[in-house]
Amino acid sequence: MSALFTFLWGFAMGVILLSLVGGFTAGFILVERKVSARMQMRIGPVHTGPHGLLQTVADMIKLMMKEDVRPARADRVAFNLGPLLTAVPAVMSFVVLPLGAGVVARDLNVGVLYFLAVPSISVVGLVMAGWASYDNYSFLGGLRAAAQFISYEIPRTLSVVGVVVVAGTLSTVRIMEVQTIPYAVLLPVGFVVYLITSVAELNRGPFDIPEAESEIVAGFHTEYSGLRWSLFFMAEYGGMFAASAFATVLFLGGGAGPLLPGFAWFWLKTLALVFVLMWVRWTLPRFRADQLMALAWKGLLPAALINLGLAFVVLFLVR
Amino acid sequence: MSIPAPADILFWFFAAAAVGGAAYAVTSAHLIRSILAFGAFLTAVAGEYYLLAAEFVALVQIFVYVGGVLVLMLFALMLSTPGESQPSSLGRWSPAVGVTAVGVGAAIMIAAWHTPLPVVKEPAAGRLDHLGQALLGDHVVVFELVGVLLFAAVVTALVAVRGERR
């Protein structure tokens, strides 16, 4: 019976995480609209529900009712699989995230590596979608996504390695426990590199060249509509929350903080980081492809290596 | 008959996916599809590692092969036109290549079959420190040599690219 129980428990966890990501997507899209509106001296959606709160709900219904459009010359299997391969790893990355004190789907002893490795499947989905659409803009978007991902993966991983060196563990829960001083204070360079590279891996502005609307229409998701299109958005907004929560765990001490309970602190820090990601997107102009590569290889990679060196100094001082 | 354990079901699922993916990857004439099938194979093998309680190896498999090698291969081959299929370029060598491949595969299988493998009751899960100590202790020379080799490869690639520009 225990085997059946294991299976059902896993299934229930999957459903919970999937609903969580769906909810985040709906919520964050509304918040993003409001934030971007305020930054551009507009007021954003107001008509659907009080203060426009039901706008994304209406949008979701609209997306579900849309006709299923597929280009005639598209590669059918790859076109259908692309969005799924992008969204599923984004949901899977939530498995190791400790959402508050002790609330974690599974505390893997290699949790940090899991969080870095599993979302890297997403980019295969993006490239697949771009290629399968049989469209020049989609194709260019897919190529750009692949190039950007490969470049930013390296400084991102190196910035996290610094934290692992100081913490001495790869478990996300243990890192939160051993973190008496937030690592953002001890390793400020690593924190900044992690945040910048996370924005790049999510393909959000100013690193949104894979979907730059002024150059290549909408990049890899040009030909997508309806539910498949919304899967890309689920991956982006789910990934945005996951990256922020992971930064809270690694660099901001997780649920540590005075007065308020750990749960509240964790969510406050995470949502603040989500706001920072939106703020950056609506403030900075888009990078050019060559600037993007120069930043990754000439700026962030050396910075991440310096951070790694600093981590050893910190380790030496602490012990 | 008892209900098969989830681990057994998963084992056969991953095994089927690995064999199917690998077979499709080598038989498909379509380059991109063949690479995607290769990706399915790599992921399925990672699943098998996970079932063997080698979580670290499973994740490294995904990180390096799916996130790195596969994306690089896709990136390179995306520059080919979709739907383009080419006949095998091996030509008259293909029988020899086939015989060699089957021979090496058979040799590996026979060797694996006859090697007495120790059965570990308690998987050393959570003992990442052992791996680290082995890499930087007993095998430090090999580890550093691999580093030198990779560095040489990077420098060579850079020189090759620079050379073309002139």
- CATH number of the domain encompassing residue B37: 1.20.120.1200
Please state, in angstroms and rounded to a whole number, the distance separating the CA atoms of residues B64 and B162: 27
pLDDT at site B108: 92
pLDDT at site B122: 63
Q: Which residue has the higher pLDDT, B42 or A4?
A: B42
| CB neighbour list of residue A270: distance below 8 Å, 6 or more residues apart | A241, A244, A245, A247, A248
Mean pLDDT along residues A18-38: 83
Kindly state whether residue B50 falls inside one of the protein's structural domains.
yes
The answer to whether the CB of A282 falls within 8 A of the CB of A40 is yes
Q: Would the CB atoms of A134 and B82 count as touching at under 8 Å?
A: yes
Q: Would the CB atoms of A117 and B60 count as touching at under 8 Å?
A: yes
| Residue the block writes with tokens 């229409």 | A217
Query: Which residues of A sit within 8 Å Cβ distance of B?
Result: 3-4, 6-7, 10, 75, 77-78, 108-110, 113-114, 116-118, 120-121, 123-124, 127-128, 130-132, 134, 139, 142-143, 146-147, 149-150, 153, 170
Q: Which residues in chain B are closer than 8 Å to A109, comparing Cβ atoms?
A: 55, 125-126, 128
CA-wise closest residue to A125 among A88, A170, A179: A88
pTM for the model stands at: 0.80
pLDDT at site A50: 81
pLDDT higher than threshold 70 for residue A2 = no
Q: How confident is the model at residue B165 (pLDDT cuts 50, 70, 90)?
A: low
Cis peptide bond upstream of A155, omega within 30:
no
Neighbours of A47 (CB within 10 A): 9
Kindly state whether residue B51 falls inside one of the protein's structural domains.
yes
Q: Would the CB atoms of A150 and B56 count as touching at under 8 Å?
A: no
Nearest CA to CA, how far is B132 from chain A (Å)?
12
| DSSP per residue, B21-89 | HHHHHHH-SBHHHHHHHHHHHHHHHHHHHHHTT-HHHHHHIIIIIIIIIIHHHHHHHTTSPTT-B---T
Please state, in angstroms and rounded to a whole number, the distance separating the CA atoms of residues A310 and A317: 10
Enter the tokens of residue A261.
């309970």
Mean pLDDT of chain A: 82
Enter the tokens of residue B17.
């996916």
Kindly state whether residue B151 falls inside one of the protein's structural domains.
yes
Q: Using a CB–CB cutoff of 8 Å, tell me whether B124 touches chain A.
A: no
The answer to whether the CB of A251 falls within 8 A of the CB of A182 is yes
Of A117, A124, A149, the CB nearest to B39: A124
Of B6, B33, B78, the CB nearest to A7: B6
Enter the tokens of residue A164.
């692992």
Q: Would the CB atoms of B67 and A139 count as touching at under 8 Å?
A: no
Domain count, chain B: 2
pLDDT in tens, A87-115: 888 888 888 888 766 666 677 777 888 88
Measured CA distances, B136 to A127, A160, A312, B67, B130 (Å): 37, 21, 16, 26, 10
pLDDT in tens, A186-210: 888 888 889 899 888 888 878 887 7
Minimal-distance CA residue of chain B relative to A132: B82
Examine the domain organization and report whether B66 and B134 are in the same domain. Answer: no
Q: Tell me what ipTM this predicted complex has.
A: 0.73
Kindly state whether residue B95 falls inside one of the protein's structural domains.
no
Q: Which of B28, B63, B83 is where one domain is finished?
A: B83
Mean pLDDT along residues A210-223: 74
Nearest CA to CA, how far is B126 from chain A (Å)?
6
pLDDT in tens, A246-287: 888 888 877 777 777 777 888 888 888 888 888 888 888 888
Examine the domain organization and report whether B77 and B134 are in the same domain. Answer: no
Q: Which residue has the higher pLDDT, B16 or B77?
A: B16
Q: Using a CB–CB cutoff of 8 Å, tell me whether B129 touches chain A.
A: no
Mean pLDDT along residues B38-56: 85
Kindly state whether residue B118 falls inside one of the protein's structural domains.
no
Measured CA distances, A192 to A113, A160, A195, A277, A303 (Å): 19, 11, 5, 12, 9
Kindly state whether residue B146 falls inside one of the protein's structural domains.
yes
pLDDT in tens, A172-187: 777 877 777 788 778 8
Q: At what angle do helices A2-39 and A226-251 cross, to 10 degrees?
A: 90
Enter the tokens of residue A215.
């150059």
Q: How confident is the model at residue B1 (pLDDT cuts 50, 70, 90)?
A: very low
Q: Which residue has the higher pLDDT, A310 or A72?
A: A310
- What are the backbone dihedrals phi and psi of residue B91, each rounded to the nearest 5 degrees, phi first? 60, -130
Measured CA distances, B63 to A129, A163, A209 (Å): 20, 19, 24
pLDDT at site B3: 61
pLDDT in tens, B123-146: 655 567 777 788 888 888 998 999
The answer to whether the CB of B49 falls within 8 A of the CB of B59 is no
Residues 73-102 of B with CB under 8 A from A: 74-75, 78, 82
pLDDT in tens, A220-241: 777 787 788 888 888 888 888 8
Range of the domain at B132: 128-166
Q: Would the CB atoms of A109 and B128 count as touching at under 8 Å?
A: yes
**Residues above pLDDT 70, as percent of chain A:** 97
pLDDT at site A235: 85
Q: Would the CB atoms of B78 and A127 count as touching at under 8 Å?
A: yes
pLDDT at site A101: 62
Nearest CA to CA, how far is B149 from chain A (Å)?
19
- What are the backbone dihedrals phi and psi of residue A134, each rounded to the nearest 5 degrees, phi first? 55, 55
Kindly state whether residue B113 falls inside one of the protein's structural domains.
no
Kindly state whether residue B72 falls inside one of the protein's structural domains.
yes
Please state, in angstroms and rounded to a whole number, the distance separating the CA atoms of residues A186 and A315: 10
pLDDT at site B106: 93
Of A4, A109, A147, the CB nearest to B75: A147
**Residues above pLDDT 90, as percent of chain A:** 0
Q: Using a CB–CB cutoff of 8 Å, tell me whether B56 touches chain A.
A: yes
Minimal-distance CA residue of chain A relative to B83: A75
pLDDT at site B28: 77
Please state, in angstroms and rounded to a whole number, the distance separating the CA atoms of residues B92 and A214: 51
Enter the tokens of residue A166.
């100081």
Q: Which of B83, B100, B119 is where one domain is finished?
A: B83
pLDDT higher than threshold 50 for residue B164 = yes
pLDDT at site B134: 80
Mean pLDDT along residues B98-116: 89
Q: Using a CB–CB cutoff of 8 Å, tell me whether B67 touches chain A.
A: yes
CA-wise closest residue to A128 among A79, A70, A88: A79
Of A4, A110, A139, the CB nearest to B55: A110
Of A10, A110, A143, the CB nearest to B59: A110
Q: Would the CB atoms of A124 and B74 count as touching at under 8 Å?
A: yes
